[in-house]
Amino acid sequence: MSHTAELLDDYRNNLLGVFGDPALVLVSGQGCHVTDADGTRYLDLLAGIAVNALGYAHPAWVEAVAEQAGTLAHISNLFTSPQSIALAHRMLAVTGAPEGSHVFFANSGSEANEAAFKLARRHGRAHPDAQGRPRERVLALEHAFHGRTMGSLALTAKEAYRAPFEPLPGGVTHLPATVGALETELDDTVSAVVVEPVQGEAGVRGLPEGFLARARELTRECGALLVVDEVQSGMGRTGAWLASTAQLPAGEFPDAVTFAKGLGGGFPIGAMLTAGPEVSGLLGTGQHGTTFGGNPLAAAAGLATVTTIENENLLANARTVGEHLAARLRTAPGVVEVRQHGLLLGMDLAQQDPDDAVAQRLVAAARSAGFIINATGPATVRLAPPLVITTAEVDTFADALPGLLSRVRRA
């Protein structure tokens, strides 16, 4: 029995396998590679699902975390630390948030979106409809993924995730991502419109051209908040600090932005940015918080991540390596479409029939060949490698892809 098989036996006896049986037991990582319990090495083109922006064991990140662990790891939420203050400051600066904006720290994307949902409820009370009733509706998009806690699940569209846990917090309507649908549904009963600028879990799908800019105009006109979920797309993943900025006219900003994943470079941390003094004032003292959110250790990891992204020019790297990889993937026979936003890529594969789960087979074949990728649907694969990945490294996957695709064709 391999070491992996033994560990998986133990796993099954001790852990709730909520995501099914893990495909690998990983023991170490260096740069863009990870090694499993049997000593097999893989090029990680998924980066902990868009998390490990700096790859594994980046010296700047390791040093910052080790130093903080040896100085001050956790304090209660009654106190704060220079690290969380500095991280908030840097996030406001790099995202270009308007004057009077603030940051709230949580531990995950779902928690950041819970905060945004509560913000929407508070806004709905502060700005009632024409009849004086609190605005209780929230508009989200079809195919949206915002997390799996009860509030974030209410924002998530996928019925298979939602149905077992009804009733969810109410008032959420999911719309197609069209301006027409938004114009029809948006009125003074709506407290917030919540969107991902790139829908990662839905297969890396950007919003239609002009949608976010129009959503900004319409939400402002009807007094609703525009909340942008940048948990997957933010902090450099798409080659910019925010994927939403380029979709908005200059000088425009969402009312709230949520973050997690890449923010801590592998350390669990989430955040909600509230734009401007009015939105920042909506959550009053004692109305929200967590024990761990933004503790000094997590904040030090976040600071090291942001600083290294800047020092190593990783936004530009995400753009150039992402474009190069997309161009190479598009030439592989059996690849139908590649959607590329920096180093967040969705690749649709030709199916032999409508039930053909070709993406799952490709994920397994790629793993056997030493590459980690994942499937977001039966025919769609997602790539979200570390932002430090090189052209030479992504080329090893692009070189292997035609052979892998022909191997996964059903006889």
Please name which of 150, 88, 95 lies closest in space to residue 117, comparing C-alpha atoms.
150
What is the rounded CA–CA span in Å between residue 81 and residue 61?
18
Among 36, 44, 114, 201, binds ligand PLP (CB under 6 A): 201
319, with CB counted inside 10 A (0-12, 13-18, 19+), is middle
The residues near 88 (Cβ < 8 Å, ≥ 6 apart) are 102, 103, 105, 271, 294
Q: Which stretch binds ligand PLP (CB under 6 A): 71-79, 182-190, 195-203, 380-388?
A: 195-203
Q: Which of positions 337-376 make contact with ligand PLP (CB under 6 A)?
A: none
Q: Which stretch binds ligand PLP (CB under 6 A): 141-149, 282-290, 318-326, 375-383?
A: 141-149
Q: Which of positions 209-268 make contact with ligand PLP (CB under 6 A)?
A: 229, 231-232, 260
What is the rounded CA–CA span in Å between residue 52 and residue 348?
24
Residue 51 CB, shortest distance to ligand PLP, in Å, is 9
Q: Which stretch binds ligand PLP (CB under 6 A): 73-81, 129-137, 145-153, 336-344?
A: 145-153
What is the rounded CA–CA span in Å between residue 376 and residue 57?
27
Binding mask 89-108 for ligand PLP (x = CB under 6 A): -------------------x
108 vs 340, beta carbon nearer ligand PLP:
108
113 vs 189, beta carbon nearer ligand PLP:
113
Neighbours of 21 (CB within 10 A): 8
**Where do the H-state alpha helices sit in 175-295?**
179-185, 211-222, 276-280
Residues in the chain: 411
Residue 380 CB, shortest distance to ligand PLP, in Å, is 15
Task: Answer yes or no whether residue 204 interacts with ligand PLP by CB under 6 A.
Answer: no
Among 4, 113, 244, 274, binds ligand PLP (CB under 6 A): 113
Residue 364 CB, shortest distance to ligand PLP, in Å, is 21
Q: Which residues pair with 382 in a beta bridge?
A: 346, 374
**Nearest residue to ligand PLP, using CB?**
109
Task: Answer yes or no whether residue 145 interacts with ligand PLP by CB under 6 A.
Answer: yes
Residue 357 CB, shortest distance to ligand PLP, in Å, is 21
Please name which of 216, 171, 189, 210 lies closest in space to residue 128, comparing C-alpha atoms.
189
- Written as six digits, the tokens of 71 are 């100085």
State the number of binding residues for ligand PLP (CB under 6 A). 14
Residue 316 CB, shortest distance to ligand PLP, in Å, is 24
- Written as six digits, the tokens of 172 are 């959420």
Phi-psi sector, 138: left (phi>0), alpha (psi -120 to 50), beta: beta
What is the rounded CA–CA span in Å between residue 228 and residue 256?
6
Residues in the site for ligand PLP, rule: CB under 6 A? 108-110, 113, 145-147, 196, 200-201, 229, 231-232, 260
